[in-house]
A and B are shown apart, each in its own frame.
Chain A
């Protein structure tokens, strides 16, 4: 029995296959033709059942008749599976930020999600890393606190002009990087506080790979934050687990 979960995100498509007790992870850029990427991933592994999730789930479902679940339900299952003590999930992806509170039994108690604006998401980080000449992989490692620099605007367009102003004043890009991370955390925290924070707190989504974001969240929440080694795979993994349930 092969079960799979596919998470069609705004920046990456994540694919998890569960095959006789083993799990396999794939990640590819979503690009301009996500359907082809999905078809290739699914076609190569030939699963018995696939569950789709993520921003592009309906696009895929309309083409292929796959059943769907939301990424909120999916990430809750995935995070709980790898970190069973998890009660609060902070999920920051390419264009969405979510906070999910779980009951003791792992079902969802409450959730919050950003509305239309991509402020406080991975897309914002990417744009800002680019402006400062960092790669997204090194961005979170190159932040330096210590000098009081603040980015006030959360709009990507306005924040970029603030960044340019700071560069023009001769401020080191490492300080600006820290300020940008700090402003994102300020955007994420109200969502988290609205659902309520119960430990353990798990940070998921592509942005959980960013070391600085992780540390700042932990510091400002005054909580230990757990991160799975592949934090962006957990929604796809959760979907695969649900697919496995339904084939049982």
Chain B
């Protein structure tokens, strides 16, 4: 990304010097973590390009879309149905942040002991470093955890763009009714903001697009069940991260092309690491871009990540939307039902997540589960206990990690991950 975009960034009100610094750091990190990997599929070239243009060409596209009268809608949660955004010709962008940016600015508003993801999106905005937030016409929040819910109040004061959906705490009939109503209200809100009617045809078109994207992501997930694994966990994580802000149709085409290549690898029996490499499932808090810390530590320690039971991962694409709806309201109901099948730790009870972890471990042939909770992400930090009990009962080793985006604990994490991999390998030998 170069000088050509400076004018655009300035027009969005970004802090140009700090932004330049951020891009330089990101580019170095990408070089070290991604481009240095061996045996990468050629199809990753597209995703490398997307990353290199993450604040460039993609922002040009968003601004062009705005000129055509399309709205840019920011989201923070996989419970918010992307189909509704597409049905009003909107562009859906995930705004979760995966880097320590603007921390001092963010801490003027929120406590130091706030999870890194929340501090990150506040910091990106406050330090003038996020062209996505600046381009957004509406930002949809949700009451998933206390941290987000309270931070959105402040975020709305700062941006004047936030609309918060009420996500229930329990999934019974009352919760389902509440959430269905919230989706109906969101439909009204989106129509107001964009001046467009939500019609059954628009919804059908949107459902086809988003389901195709989910199918491609499911296809990628299934390919990771092979041994040797045809793609690194780092690359798969990146693709999942990109799925939140790339154009969905183009993304799906490119991902399917990549999967064709991975199919060939599987047929030839070739992989990104040797057959028998220790296979780990990562489960827990979302890893927003550019949070590659844990995957990079695991894959730098001789293991391979074969799946993510996480919002940036299976929870995002695991269930398709039932396309057999006959009215607009029926479609909204089916969207609500679809998202009520996603198992986030903000719900109680959340036993289905434990089943998801066990099923995924078995489908992806994981030899151990690494539970990842962002520090101060209370729902996942506490649910780790029940996840551990369930995973160990299924006969798999479990490693519990709490961390943030900083690298100060990288040494300790590496020791723990290496020891976990040693333990799994020695367990197989003995």
Q: How many A-B residue pairs have CB under 8 A?
A: 45
Q: How large is the interface on A (under 10, 10 to 19, 20 to 34, 35 or more residues)?
A: 10 to 19
Q: Report the separation of the CA atoms of residues A110 and B389 in the bound assembly, to the nearest whole angstrom.
A: 13
| Contact for B415 among A72, A105, A108, CB less than 8 A | A72
Given A55-B411, A113-B412, answer yes or no on A70-B427 (Cβ-Cβ < 8 Å). Answer: no
Q: Are B426 and A70 interface neighbours, CB within 8 A?
A: no
Decide yes or no whether B409 CB sits under 8 A from chain A. yes
Interface residues as binary, A107-118 with B (CB distance below 8 Å gives 1, 0 otherwise): 110110111100
Decide yes or no whether B249 CB sits under 8 A from chain A. no
Given A71-B415, A96-B412, answer yes or no on A115-B422 (Cβ-Cβ < 8 Å). Answer: no
| Contact for B423 among A105, A111, A115, CB less than 8 A | A111
Q: Are B402 and A115 interface neighbours, CB within 8 A?
A: yes
Q: Report the separation of the CA atoms of residues A69 and B418 in the bound assembly, to the nearest whole angstrom.
A: 8
Q: Distance in Å from the Cβ of A94 to the closest Cβ of chain B? A: 12
Residues of B within 8 A of A105 (CB): 430
Q: Distance in Å from the Cβ of A49 to the closest Cβ of chain B? A: 18
| Contact for A70 among B402, B409, B422, B430, CB less than 8 A | B422
Q: How large is the interface on B (under 10, 10 to 19, 20 to 34, 35 or more residues)?
A: 10 to 19
Q: Which of B383-429 contact A (CB under 8 A)?
A: 397, 402-403, 408-409, 411-416, 418-419, 422-423, 426-427
Q: Are A113 and B422 interface neighbours, CB within 8 A?
A: no
Q: Report the separation of the CA atoms of residues A115 and B381 in the bound assembly, to the nearest whole angstrom.
A: 14
Residues of B within 8 A of A115 (CB): 402-403, 409, 412-413
Q: Report the separation of the CA atoms of residues A58 and B302 in the bound assembly, to the nearest whole angstrom.
A: 13
Q: Which of B93-136 contact A (CB under 8 A)?
A: none
Q: Report the separation of the CA atoms of residues A28 and B418 in the bound assembly, to the nearest whole angstrom.
A: 26
Q: Report the separation of the CA atoms of residues A72 and B411 in the bound assembly, to the nearest whole angstrom.
A: 14
Given A69-B422, A73-B426, A115-B409, answer yes or no on A55-B403 (Cβ-Cβ < 8 Å). Answer: no
Q: Distance in Å from the Cβ of A119 to the closest Cβ of chain B? A: 13
Given A69-B422, A70-B422, A72-B422, answer yes or no on A113-B416 (Cβ-Cβ < 8 Å). Answer: yes
Q: Are B426 and A108 interface neighbours, CB within 8 A?
A: yes
Q: Which of B231-271 contact A (CB under 8 A)?
A: none
Q: Distance in Å from the Cβ of A205 to the closest Cβ of chain B? A: 14
Q: Are A107 and B419 interface neighbours, CB within 8 A?
A: no
Given A107-B427, A115-B402, A115-B403, answer yes or no on A72-B419 (Cβ-Cβ < 8 Å). Answer: yes
Can you list 6 A-B pairs with a CB-CB distance of less than 8 A? A73-B423, A96-B415, A107-B430, A108-B419, A108-B423, A116-B409
A-B contacts besides A72-B419, A108-B426, A115-B413, 15 pairs, CB < 8 Å: A55-B411, A58-B414, A70-B418, A72-B422, A73-B419, A107-B423, A107-B427, A108-B419, A108-B422, A111-B419, A111-B423, A113-B415, A113-B419, A116-B409, A116-B412
| Residues of A participating in the B interface, judged by any CB pair closer than 8 Å | 55, 58, 69-73, 96, 105, 107-108, 110-111, 113-116
Q: Top 7 nearest A-B pairs by Cβ distance? A: A116-B409, A72-B419, A70-B419, A108-B423, A70-B418, A73-B422, A107-B430
